[in-house]
Structure 1
């Protein structure tokens, strides 16, 4: 079955669970352990993120090390009903491709409150707060 590229907004509203999909966007957060990682992905089509569940047996560890907050990624996988609370749909990833890395040392855009002094020094982050 051919995958179809969709926006995060379309995926969150979709009733086509069990369908192969692909989505491109920016990583808002990543958490997990050695078995499974969870990526909150957003493409700007909605304020909400879609959760991507990554089975570490299917995706190389080297690829997941490059997935940091702000990185641009392309995800292919299966759209399913979410078993977790907070979202109705999620993507079970079959492939994750990092299209653009975001080095946390050069681009410190972690999802935390930054001090006013820090934001004065790193002006390009002001609009994100």
Structure 2
């Protein structure tokens, strides 16, 4: 019996099983959080500027109401992306904390002497 490694087996592309490290998760979560902040600010700026243009154009041109429709669609799309970014960021924060808790539990509850005792 081997407790210190997996059995050797061929894998596709010469790589092992999928693994993710905490710093990888943190980088993705940070990127999603940063994207959320920029999208919230820049998306709102575009909505306000386009909304003002739509209002100004509505008085004199038929294209104003079409631009108003575009602004409404833009807001829905930005809100959808903001929700996705928040979900990614929050989920990865939760995942990191959950796995850290699992690691702590395993490390504090696993006793080699207890394992040895059960194999005698």
Shorter-chain TM-score: which interval? Answer: under 0.3
Higher helix share: 2
TM-score by length of 1: 0.20
Q: Which structure's residues are more often strand, by fraction?
A: 1
The structure showing larger relative contact order (alpha-carbon pairs under 8 Å, at least 6 residues apart) is: 2
TM-score of the aligned structures, taking structure 2 as reference length: 0.21
